[in-house]
């Protein structure tokens, strides 16, 4: 049963209510219990609070990441559960969701000379008005450390339950709006009819369809049947929208980078279509496209790939990513090898009957690419927060240096917290603390003695680390107790996996 509608002038919900809901959700082990807890909370909210609440429960402010890091938060909160100064904490909750939303908006809109001081003051005022539990929650959300199990899938189910609408309708509207919070507010105010009226709109980016992983092309074709086998370029994923001469370019995270992709804009502007939405990659400065989502006002999301591919080739011409249509593993393998020989990541095998499932990792798309491993040394780790509070989590990884002596014996090449189970977190925390040499902020540095096997897609040039290299999509496979630091891989081994990331300064 749908809860009665609160009055239009209902005051904003207290943050403490959301924090309590978040903690109850984290404590619940069963998915149905999480959904029920969230649905009850969502049903009680005034419409104006819904987008903010959904975003905060998902672990990211409605405005996205606005550049609030630990350095800013640390001025008011130390990251380990102690708000500062303790004497300023209010005895009773006073912060509302609207207060939090306004503060984050102000921080996101503050730029230029003197902006750092203003941003810190706004965050400081926010934390000064928060209770200890609220401050802990805000710190986790603002720096991306919330771990409660209330992610998009669970929240979408809770929205459907709270407002009496179909889950598939919520998911579809959230995908097309690019915002689950807006879809939730629409579900509350207009129900099933409102959700169903949402369509793909030129100029409003949607989350792209993603591919699941297959071990090789033969396994991929077993699942897809006749397929389009396409080169997987090692570029930046883009979604391009065109209306007349107006062209907008978005990243996979829906950031608008139009002003930094002039060659893409010019290429799409020249295409013979009044309205157009394309999916592709930018490599160097040049675009390459592999899907078409809308053409001359016609939404193509529900059309099979075979039909979309024909329209795409006609529309983009030579900017179409190389592809072969086959169900023959030998021919598909040859296309994979040609992609690798050209310096690309691999191939994506796409069933010809697949529709474009925006925002989903579709079963009809299978990516095939080699997985590399490196044995690296643990140089330190950062204290976790949220669910990983109390554990050393984010590993600082180093490669053995056999070149420039000024860089030291081991050179940092990346960080990762992925692939760590609770058991491994407990073990590595003990091991790193036993080797501790110093601390800086939330980082514990250690003697370079632990060797860990890291899986990664590739390495790339980067100015972030002193060796000029960084790992791409690194995750922990296992600790190598059988290896010492002198057996760790070298910077040259990291460099051997290097690909050139074009336009590497663009946000992704």
pLDDT by residue for the chain (508 residues), tens digit each? 444 454 455 789 999 999 999 999 988 888 899 999 999 999 999 999 999 999 999 888 888 776 676 666 766 654 434 444 444 667 788 899 999 999 888 887 888 888 788 878 888 888 889 998 998 898 888 876 565 545 678 999 999 999 999 999 999 999 899 889 999 999 999 999 999 999 899 999 998 999 988 888 999 999 999 999 999 998 889 999 999 999 999 998 888 999 999 999 999 999 999 999 999 999 989 999 999 999 999 999 999 999 999 999 999 999 999 999 999 999 999 999 999 889 888 999 999 999 999 888 888 999 998 778 899 999 999 999 888 999 999 999 999 987 776 667 899 999 999 999 999 999 999 999 999 999 999 999 999 999 999 988 888 888 899 888 999 889 999 999 888 888 899 998 888 887 644 443 343 4
pLDDT at position 501, please?
A: 46
What residues pair up with 239 in beta bridges, in sequence order? Answer: 250, 279
Residues 74, 182: Cα–Cα separation, whole Å: 31
Is 2 part of a structural domain of the chain? no
Query: Are 353 and 396 in the same domain?
Result: no
Cβ contact 339:347 at 8 Å = yes
Is 200 part of a structural domain of the chain? no
Is 296 part of a structural domain of the chain? yes
Is 202 part of a structural domain of the chain? no
The model carries a pTM of 0.65
**Alpha helix stretches (DSSP H) within 5-96:** 15-27, 31-43, 50-58, 70-73
Cβ contact 426:434 at 8 Å = no
The last residue of a domain, from among 313, 346, 368: 368
Query: Are 62 and 44 in the same domain?
Result: yes
Is 62 part of a structural domain of the chain? yes
DSSP states along 95-132: -BHHHHHHHHHHHHH--STTHHHHHHHHHHHHHHTS-H
Kindly tell me the sign of the dihedral angle through the C-alpha atoms of 210, 216, 217, 218.
negative
CA-angle at 331, arms to 327 and 335, nearest 5°: 115
Residue labelled with tokens 């209510």 = 17
Number of domains in the chain: 3
Residue 350 has which token pair?
């796409």
pLDDT at position 82, please?
A: 44
Query: Are 214 and 231 in the same domain?
Result: yes
Residues 242, 205: Cα–Cα separation, whole Å: 11
Q: Which domain holds residue 120?
A: 15-195
Cβ contact 53:134 at 8 Å = no
Strand (E) or helix (H) holding 190: helix 180-196
CATH number, domain containing residue 280:
3.30.470.30
pLDDT at position 362, please?
A: 83
Which residues are part of the catalytic machinery? 232
The last residue of a domain, from among 368, 384, 406: 368
CATH number, domain containing residue 455:
2.40.50.140
pLDDT at position 387, please?
A: 85
CATH number, domain containing residue 155:
1.10.3260.10
Residue 489 has which token pair?
């891989």
> How many H-runs (helices) and E-runs (strands) does the chain carry?
16, 19
pLDDT at position 114, please?
A: 81
Is 502 part of a structural domain of the chain? no
Residues 411, 403: Cα–Cα separation, whole Å: 11
CB count within 10 Å of CB 282 equals 24
Query: Are 25 and 164 in the same domain?
Result: yes
Query: Are 130 and 234 in the same domain?
Result: no
Query: Are 189 and 249 in the same domain?
Result: no
Residues 43, 21: Cα–Cα separation, whole Å: 12
The last residue of a domain, from among 195, 219, 249: 195
Is 408 part of a structural domain of the chain? yes
What residues pair up with 459 in beta bridges, in sequence order? Answer: 471, 498
User: How far, CA to CA in Å, does 327 sit from each of 311, 333, 436?
Assistant: 22, 11, 55
Is 201 part of a structural domain of the chain? no
Query: Are 380 and 364 in the same domain?
Result: no
Residue 398 has which token pair?
């180093």
Cβ contact 367:232 at 8 Å = yes
Query: Are 376 and 364 in the same domain?
Result: no
pLDDT at position 139, please?
A: 84
Nearest alpha carbon to residue 193 among 166, 154, 175: 166
Query: Are 97 and 37 in the same domain?
Result: yes
Q: What share of the chain is helix, strand, coil (3-state, %, to 5)?
A: 40, 25, 35
User: How far, CA to CA in Å, does 203 sit from each of 199, 254, 273, 292?
Assistant: 12, 11, 15, 15
Query: Are 392 and 349 in the same domain?
Result: no
Residues 389, 394: Cα–Cα separation, whole Å: 12
Residues 488, 306: Cα–Cα separation, whole Å: 47
DSSP state of 468: S
Cβ within 8 Å of residue 113, ≥6 positions away: none
Cβ contact 453:375 at 8 Å = yes
pLDDT at position 72, please?
A: 67
Query: Are 357 and 465 in the same domain?
Result: no
Query: Are 223 and 357 in the same domain?
Result: yes
pLDDT at position 337, please?
A: 94
Kindly tell me the sign of the dihedral angle through the C-alpha atoms of 25, 26, 29, 31.
positive
pLDDT at position 503, please?
A: 40
pLDDT at position 504, please?
A: 38
Residues 161, 159: Cα–Cα separation, whole Å: 5
């Amino acid at each position: 049963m749908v809860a009665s509608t609160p009055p239009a002038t209902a005051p904003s919900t207290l943050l403490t209510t959301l924090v309590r809901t978040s903690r109850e959700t984290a404590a619940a082990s069963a998915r149905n219990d999480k959904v029920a807890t969230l649905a009850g909370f969502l049903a009680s909210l005034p419409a104006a609070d819904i987008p903010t609440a959904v975003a905060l429960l998902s672990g990211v402010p409605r405005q996205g990441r606005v550049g609030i890091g630990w350095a800013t938060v640390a001025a008011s909160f130390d990251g380990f559960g102690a708000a500062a100064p303790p004497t300023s904490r209010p005895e009773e909750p006073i912060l509302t969701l609207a207060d939090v939303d306004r503060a984050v908006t102000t921080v996101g809109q503050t730029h230029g000379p003197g902006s750092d001081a203003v941003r810190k003051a706004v965050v400081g005022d926010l934390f000064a008005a928060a209770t200890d539990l609220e401050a802990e929650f805000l710190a986790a959300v603002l720096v991306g450390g919330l771990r409660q199990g209330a992610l998009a899938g669970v929240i979408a189910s809770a929205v459907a339950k709270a407002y009496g609408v179909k889950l598939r309708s919520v998911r579809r509207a959230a995908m097309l709006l690019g915002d689950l919070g807006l879809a939730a507010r629409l579900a509350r105010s207009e129900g099933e009819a409102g959700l169903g009226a949402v369509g793909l709109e030129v100029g409003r980016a949607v989350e792209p369809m993603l591919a699941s992983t297959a071990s090789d092309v033969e396994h991929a074709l077993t699942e897809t049947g006749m397929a389009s086998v396409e080169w997987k370029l090692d570029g930046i994923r883009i979604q391009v929208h065109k209306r007349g001469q107006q062209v907008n370019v978005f990243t996979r995270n829906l950031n608008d980078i139009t002003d930094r992709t002039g060659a893409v804009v010019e290429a799409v502007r020249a295409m013979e279509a009044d309205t157009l939405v394309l999916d592709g990659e930018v490599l160097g400065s040049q675009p390459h496209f592999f899907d078409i989502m809308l053409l001359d006002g016609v939404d193509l999301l529900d059309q099979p790939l075979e039909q979309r591919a024909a329209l795409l080739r006609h529309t983009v011409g030579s900017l179409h990513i190389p592809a072969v249509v086959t169900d023959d593993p030998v021919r598909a393998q040859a296309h994979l090898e040609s992609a690798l020989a050209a310096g690309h990541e691999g191939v994506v095998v796409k069933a010809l009957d697949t529709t474009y499932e925006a925002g989903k990792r579709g079963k009809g798309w299978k990516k095939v690419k080699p997985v590399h491993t490196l044995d690296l040394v643990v140089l330190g780790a950062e204290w976790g927060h949220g669910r990983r509070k109390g554990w050393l989590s984010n590993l600082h990884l180093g490669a053995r240096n056999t070149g420039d002596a000024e860089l030291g014996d081991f050179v940092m090449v990346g960080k990762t917290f992925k692939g760590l189970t609770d058991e491994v977190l407990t073990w590595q925390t003990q091991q790193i603390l036993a080797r501790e040499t110093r601390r800086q902020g939330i980082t514990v540095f250690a003697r370079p003695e632990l060797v860990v096997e890291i899986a990664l897609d590739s390495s790339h040039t980067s100015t972030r680390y002193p060796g000029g290299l960084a790992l791409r999509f690194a995750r922990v496979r296992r600790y190598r107790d059988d290896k010492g630091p002198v057996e760790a891989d070298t910077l040259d081994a990291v460099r051997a996996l290097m690909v050139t990331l074009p336009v590497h300064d663009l946000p992704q």
